[in-house]
Each structure stands twice: as structure tokens, then as C-alpha cells.
Amino acid sequence: MTEPPLLSVEDLEVRYRVTSGWFGGSDVHAVNGVSFSVAEGETIGIVGESGCGKTTLGQAILGLTDISAGAVKLRGTERDRARRTQIQIIFQDPQSSLDPRLPVWRLITEPLHIRGGYANKQLIDRASELAVSVGLRPEHVDRYPHEFSGGQRQRIAIARALAVEPALLVLDEPTSALDVSVQAQIVNLLLSLQAQRKLSYVLISHDVSLVRHVADRVAVMYLGQIVEEGPTLDVLDAPSHPYTRTLLDAVPRFDRPLASIAPRAGELPSNRTLPTGCFFRERCPSATAGCEQPQLLVAADGLRKVRCHLVTNVHGMGRPRSAPRPAFPSDATA
Amino acid sequence: MSEPSGDVLLEISDLSLVFRTSRGPIKALNGVSLNVRAGEIVGIVGESGCGKSVTMMAATRLLPKGSAHITAGGIRLFGNDPMKLSERELQHVRGKLVSTIFQEPMNALNPTRRIGEQIVEIIRRHQRLDAKAATSKAIGLLRDMLISEPERIMQAYPFELSGGMRQRVLIAMAFSCEPKLIIADEPTTALDVTVQALILSLIKHKAASTGTAVVFISHDMAVVSQLCDRLYVLYAGRVAEAGTTASVLAAPAHPYTRALIRCLPGLVAPKQPLEQILGTLPDLLDPPAGCLFKARCREADERCKAVPPLAAIGAARRAACWRRIEETQSA
Ligand SMILES: Nc1ncnc2c1ncn2[C@@H]1O[C@H](COP(=O)(O)OP(=O)(O)OP(=O)(O)O)[C@@H](O)[C@H]1O
Ligand SMILES: Nc1ncnc2c1ncn2[C@@H]1O[C@H](COP(=O)(O)OP(=O)(O)OP(=O)(O)O)[C@@H](O)[C@H]1O
Ligand code: SF4
Ligand code: SF4
Ligand SMILES: [Mg+2]
Ligand SMILES: [Mg+2]
């Protein structure tokens, strides 16, 4: 029996109940059947357009949001307590995640403070150590967040996440609020911490070049589902799924002129009532017969999985080659 | 390659500007020079706080009157000094000659009024058209933005549209009075890459078909490289480097431009450390004497204690760096 992976996400679904407002009554289907795993020391990148459910997925991994179906397992178990310290999160905006009234040593050691049983002196020493490990100076721990730049605040947030010796960090757009020169510093820090501590990362980002640089594997999300997943360079250099291709064509690059994008390419369909059949069908340039069936994420070439029958030759209602799974109950509108 | 030869619409020379604040004067611009000619797309790039927005807001007199003060240099917008225009003349310039598009389209639209009313109003404010003609013009503009059901969008309120749709509406409004110049300040920064690609190509095509010049402000080098004919790279309120996009990218000259390009992921092998720019931006309350990039520059030496001029270093290329100036002279 092989050891279970560090993190496994199994058929995860997250729905937000919307009780009031214009859409009262209909749920938001934010994550719609996501499965993947992360090994120790590995980085998986999650890419996809705004609203496709990346942050929700990250929150669900941490247990910060309720899951409607499926499971999140750490080393094979679903226990919440283990998750709470073994998995930590870094947000996009370090400003809002740091209480401005607390000195940096208190911020960094907040998770230990919550756990309790430490004297202030111990906490300050630990904070200085952690500060140094993220490239701050020991004396910085006596200062307050507003005295730091955006990049330094992100270092403080990383130090705080490391305080409880986690095995996995969820990085939700960790550099999107930063300038490119500062981004480079944070990326280098994350890479070296990973090498030193065998950390695993779930890197959520809309920046494909960042994910390409940092991740071993990448999962492309569309409307709360993974449409393609596999080794980073396989997926990003030779995308299979029509959506992955649309997305990558739009990424601005020095070495090629502006892509001409079909206008429909710009609009994500509503996640209040999920489409029947392939979620990408409305926007897909290759849509054809068979796309009105729900699509399954199944093995394609090599280590890659793709959710499109044109690529995999597996039809929604047919029998997938890998473990059979029920077709996704997408049209069960709430 | 030579610089385009159209009429100069905007010329900013050695512009220095401070904001008076309680902590002292913030030296936001420290001798910016740039020009924009008819029909070209000019990119202004640089990291946060380098003065991109302030430069263009000064050019269109949109800065707060009380705190912003020009301390040196000048601006010519369509041949006039915008600071000397009367309120009436300024309205004419803003309505007929220049329009602006900003990052957050929500703030630029009135949330309580339908999209159609807002476009029609702006058209009729500057053009003699009756309501019917203005409406059909508005629909045509929306169609140019590849909005598929323009009549329906005309009836919608801003909150009913996605961010990308709102931005397309604002671009349609910006082009509605057939301006000679459009200033777009990070119009796609808040949007997804697929929407961004669409909007960039809409701007490019519409500008080409109307002959409108565009100043496109962005912190994203790759975006400006795909859209713009020429680039200005700003650092701490000064132009570090200028030239045609192709030549700047093929051979960046200023140490700051080189570093900006090299710190991007994608240029080194995956997982390898990215190139870092040492240090941080200078404090604009008390900027250092001499070259503003000196403290972070690997090539700095004695000469850099003096401010380097933005000097020609090749055909249609200028850089504010003593090293490059010297290499050009000795070549
Ligand atoms: N608390 C909430 N209540 C209701 N709906 C929510 C809530 N949080 C997120 N959503 C909705 O769930 C969907 C997924 O949102 P999520 O924030 O996970 O997307 P994302 O991929 O992280 O987007 P972005 O790239 O913009 O950060 C969106 O439609 C969003 O509007
Ligand atoms: N109203 C103001 N009062 C005081 N300082 C200001 C004001 N507006 C801008 N500044 C300062 O002027 C400098 C240049 O700002 P500017 O907004 O032009 O930067 P930018 O290049 O547009 O940056 P970003 O990419 O963040 O938009 C910054 O240091 C900024 O803090
Ligand atoms: S299943 Fe059909 S619509 Fe969906 S991605 Fe594949 S080809 Fe396109
Ligand atoms: S002038 Fe000197 S300090 Fe400034 S960029 Fe050139 S070499 Fe560096
Ligand atoms: Mg998010
Ligand atoms: Mg700005």
C-alpha cells in the first residue's frame, strides 16, 4: 500500500447559499467537483479567470469555508485539527491580513499565541528567528506594519505562516499586489523556503508566467472545475483543452503580437445555474456534437488529464477508462 | 527607425512637480520629458509610484489644485499651456481633443443611470446631434467594441455589466467625440487576460481606424510591448529610457529597464532564482542628488553623482544614463 499524498482534494464542491439580493434563492456554484493531490515538497499551480473558484478552493482546503460535498484530506485523514496548523495561507493583500495595532513580533507569532503556553520572551525570540528566515532584520520585530513596504509586509505574512511549521502553504495571488521587482524577491524567498523546508505549495494565480516558473504541476480551472491538469510545462507549452488554449493565447508576451480574441472569449457564464454539458461550450471555438454531454476529467497523454471528449475520446455518458465516476450532476439547479 | 513625423499633440519638457503635504514636499516628477504625435500609440511604463499617472494628469490638468505645484519645465497640449487655459477652453480640450480612460470603470460611470443615457449625453454635450442621431451613434460605437446586443446594453445599468463590459462601454465613450488623443491609465489592470486581450485589440483597431493617438499607461512590460509603437520607461518621476518598442525590448539600454525586464519570471529556467533589483525606490520627500537610480545600480560610479540627461544613444533611442552616453560617444 503506498502512502497517502500530503494533500488530497476529492470531488470537492462548494456552494454559497445566497439568501437575499437580486439572485435570492439560487446558490452560487463556486467549486464543482475538484480533485487533485499534492505530494510533499511539490507545488501545484491553480490558474483560471476571475470568479472561476480559485480562492474558494483555497479557503476550502484550509477549512475556512464549508464544503458541500467531497473531502479534503491531509496524509489521508480528514481531521480538522491537523489541517489547522499543517496548512497555512498567504493572501494577496498583506495590508489587510496584518492587524495594524500589533507589533511585528506579535503578528508573526500569532498562531503560537493562539496555541498558548509561551512566554513573551520566547515569542520574541522565535519571531526574530522567523523574521531572519524571510529576509527581514531581527530588530524589525519591534515595529508596526505601517512602517513596512508591501513586499516587506508580505514577508511578515510568510513568517507568520511558518511559525507553526506547516507542511503546506496555500498562496492566494501572493504577488499580484506587488511590483515586478518586489515580486522577484518574494518568488525567490518562496523557492528557497521550499527547498530548505520541503514545503508544499498550492499556488493560486492568474499570472501564468509566475505559475510556469514555480509550479511542478498546474491545474486549469473553469467555472469551478478543473479542465486540464498535468506537469506544468506539458500543459503550458502544449495545452490540450480548448479553454487552456484560449487562456494562454491571451497572455501578453514579448515575443508575439496581440492575439485577436473572439468577443465571447471574454465572458464567464453564470455560476448560479450551471450549464448542461461541457461548461465551456458557449465559448468554445471547437464545440461540436457530443459537447452537450457532461465532460469528464480523464487521462490524456502522459501524466495529463483533460476534460474534453475531443481530446480524450471519452464521452460524458460513456465509460471512462480510469476509475468510473458518475457524471457530474451539473444541471441539478438549486 | 525614426520617430513618427505627425503633428506633436502633447509635449512635456523637463517637468518637475511637487505635492505639498504636511510631511513636506513630495517630489513626484523630477524632469519628465515626453511627446506624443498624431496617430501613434505611446506606452508609459514603470513600477508603482514612478509618476505615470501624475504626468498625464498634469498634462490634462486633473491634479488637485491646492497641493500639486509645477516647479520647473512645461507642458504644451495642442499648442497651449493647459495651466493657462480658461475653464471654458479646458472643457473644450477635454471634451473634443482628449479623453481619458481609467482603471476602475465603475467610478467613471454614474451607477443610477442607464448606460445609453450616459453615452448619449456625452455625445450631445460635444456634438450637434439630435437625440435620435446620438442614440444611433452610441449603438454604433458599442458595436465597434464588439458588444453583441448594443440595444440591450444601452438599457442596462452599470452594475448589471461585468468589469470587462463596463470597460468596453467607457472606451466607446472615450472615442465618442472623435478625440485626437486618448489617455488610457491602466485600463486593463483589473481585468482577466482574455478580456484584456480583447480590449487591447479593440483599442488598437479603433485608434488605427480613427487616427487617434493613444497614451497607454501600464506597469506591465509585456502589455505595452504588444500594443505600443514607442515606450517611455519612468523611474522616480523621470524618464529613464525612451525609444521604439521593438528597439527598447531588443536591447534595453538603461540599467533600470534591463533589470525590469530581467526580473520577470519566464526569462530564466523554472525554479531558478529571478534576478532581483537591489534596494527600494528612493524616498520622494528627499530624493538623492544625481542619478535617481544610483543606489540600486550595479554600474554606478563617480559620474553618477550628477544627474544624467536624457540623451540620444542611437536612432530614435534615448537614455538617461552616464554609462550609455559615454559608450555612445566613444563608439
Ligand atoms: N462569500 C461568498 N458568497 C457568495 N458568493 C461568493 C462568495 N465568495 C465567492 N463567491 C462567488 O464564488 C465564485 C468563485 O469566487 P472566487 O473568489 O473563489 O473566485 P477566484 O477564482 O478566486 O476569482 P479571482 O481571480 O477574482 O480572485 C464567484 O462567482 C464569486 O462571486
Ligand atoms: N495627490 C497626491 N498627493 C501627494 N502625493 C501624491 C499624490 N498623487 C500622487 N502622489 C505621489 O506621486 C508619486 C507618483 O504617483 P503616480 O500616481 O503618478 O504613480 P504611478 O506611476 O501612476 O503608480 P501606480 O502604478 O501605483 O498607479 C507617488 O509617490 C505618489 O505617492
Ligand atoms: S467538450 Fe466540446 S465544448 Fe467542451 S471544450 Fe471540448 S470541444 Fe469544447
Ligand atoms: S547614470 Fe550611473 S547610476 Fe544612473 S543608471 Fe547610469 S550607471 Fe547607473
Ligand atoms: Mg481569488
Ligand atoms: Mg497610476
Ligand 4 atom closest to the Cα of residue B303 is: 2
User: Cα–Cα distance between B306 and B285 in angstroms, integer?
Assistant: 19
Q: Which of B146, B191, B219 faces A263 most closely, judged by CB atoms?
A: B146
User: Cα–Cα distance between B99 and B71 in angstroms, integer?
Assistant: 26
Q: Which whole number is the average pLDDT over B134-160?
A: 90
Alpha carbon separation from A42 to A6, A58, A149, A295, B321 (Å, rounded): 9, 16, 29, 28, 43
Chain A interface disruption, residue of B50, B157, B194, most A CBs within 10 A:
B194
Q: What is the pLDDT of residue B191?
A: 83
Confidence of residue B1 (pLDDT cuts 50, 70, 90): very low
Lowest mean pLDDT among A79-83, A87-91, A95-99, A138-142: A79-83
User: Cα–Cα distance between A215 and B86 in angstroms, integer?
Assistant: 57
Question: Between A and B, how many residue pairs show a Cβ–Cβ distance under 8 A?
Answer: 119
A56 lines ligand 1 (CB under 6 A): yes
Q: Closest by alpha carbon to B103, among B181, B185, B47, B194? A: B185
Dihedral over Cα of A274, A276, A280, A281: its sign = negative
* Model pLDDT for residues A115-170, shown as the tens digit of each residue: 888 999 999 999 999 999 998 888 899 999 988 888 899 999 999 999 999 999 99
Q: What is the pLDDT of residue A92?
A: 86
Q: Side chain identity at A301, as an amino acid letter? A: D
Largest Cα span, chain A: 68
Helix axes B193-210, B163-176, angle to 10 degrees: 10
User: Cα–Cα distance between B245 and B221 in angstroms, integer?
Assistant: 10
Ion ligand 5 residues within 5 Å by Cβ: A 54-55
- Does pLDDT of A79 surpass 90? no
Name the residue of B241, B293, B328 to mutate for ligand 4: max ligand atoms within 8 A of Cβ: B293
Sequential DSSP letters for B272-288: SPPP---S-PPPTTSPP
Q: What is the CATH number that goes with domain A7-219?
A: 3.40.50.300
Confidence of residue A267 (pLDDT cuts 50, 70, 90): low
Taking CB atoms and an 8 Å limit, are A212 and B265 in contact across chains? yes
Q: What is the pLDDT of residue A329?
A: 39
Lowest mean pLDDT among A74-83, B209-218, B304-313: A74-83
User: Cα–Cα distance between A305 and A313 in angstroms, integer?
Assistant: 12
> Which H helix or E strand runs over A165?
none
Taking CB atoms and an 8 Å limit, are A250 and B196 in contact across chains? yes
* Model pLDDT for residues A201-241, shown as the tens digit of each residue: 999 998 999 999 999 999 999 999 999 999 999 999 999 99
* Model pLDDT for residues B179-194, shown as the tens digit of each residue: 999 999 999 888 888 8
User: Cα–Cα distance between A111 and A129 in angstroms, integer?
Assistant: 15
Residues of A in contact with B165 (CB under 8 A): 267
User: Cα–Cα distance between A250 and A229 in angstroms, integer?
Assistant: 19
Residues of B in contact with A251 (CB under 8 A): 193
Q: Closest by alpha carbon to A232, among B271, B274, B194, B262? A: B271
Q: What is the pLDDT of residue B279?
A: 82
C-alpha cell at A273: 445555474
For chain A, the domains span 7-219, 239-253+277-334
Residues of A in contact with B47 (CB under 8 A): 179-181
- Distance (angstroms) between ligand 4 centre and the Cα of B325 equals 10
- Based on C-alpha coordinates, what's the Rg of chain A? 21
Residues with CB under 6 A from ligand 3: A 242, 278, 280-281, 284, 286-287, 291, 295, 308-310
Q: What is the pLDDT of residue A279?
A: 95
Lowest mean pLDDT among A228-242, B192-206, B307-321: B192-206
Q: What is the pLDDT of residue A307?
A: 97
User: Cα–Cα distance between B60 and A159 in angstroms, integer?
Assistant: 44
- Distance (angstroms) between ligand 5 centre and the Cα of B204 equals 30
Taking CB atoms and an 8 Å limit, are A263 and B196 in contact across chains? no
Taking CB atoms and an 8 Å limit, are A261 and B198 in contact across chains? yes
* Model pLDDT for residues B7-38, shown as the tens digit of each residue: 999 999 999 999 999 989 999 999 999 999 99
- Distance (angstroms) between ligand 3 centre and the Cα of A280 equals 6
Residue B322 near residue B284, CB atoms below 8 Å = no
Q: Side chain identity at B215, as an amino acid letter? A: V
C-alpha cell at A258: 496581440
C-alpha cell at A2: 503506498
User: Cα–Cα distance between B24 and B64 in angstroms, integer?
Assistant: 16
Dihedral over Cα of A187, A189, A192, A196: its sign = negative
Q: Which whole number is the average pLDDT over B97-102?
A: 90
Tell me the nearest-neighbour CA distance from A200 into chain B, angstroms.
14
Q: Which of A209, A246, A260 faces B265 most closely, judged by CB atoms?
A: A209
Give residue B27's region: left, alpha or beta (phi > 0; psi -120 to 50): beta
Q: What is the pLDDT of residue B316?
A: 87
Q: What is the pLDDT of residue B2?
A: 42
Q: What is the pLDDT of residue A331?
A: 35
Q: What is the pLDDT of residue A23?
A: 52
**Strands, E assignment, B79-169:** 98-101
A252-281 residues touching B, CB cutoff 8 A? 252-254, 256-261, 263-268
Residues of B in contact with A264 (CB under 8 A): 148
Taking CB atoms and an 8 Å limit, are A188 and B146 in contact across chains? no
Burial class (CB in 10 A: 0-12, 13-18, 19+), B242: buried
Q: What is the pLDDT of residue B177?
A: 86
Confidence of residue A322 (pLDDT cuts 50, 70, 90): very low
Q: Average model confidence (pLDDT) for chain B?
A: 92
Q: What is the pLDDT of residue A326?
A: 42
Residue A194 near residue A228, CB atoms below 8 Å = no
Query: Does the CB of A112 have a partner CB in chain B at under 8 Å?
Result: no
Q: Average model confidence (pLDDT) for chain A?
A: 88
Q: Which pTM value belongs to this model?
A: 0.90
Confidence of residue A323 (pLDDT cuts 50, 70, 90): very low
* Model pLDDT for residues B253-309, shown as the tens digit of each residue: 999 999 999 999 988 899 999 998 888 889 999 999 999 999 999 999 999 999 999
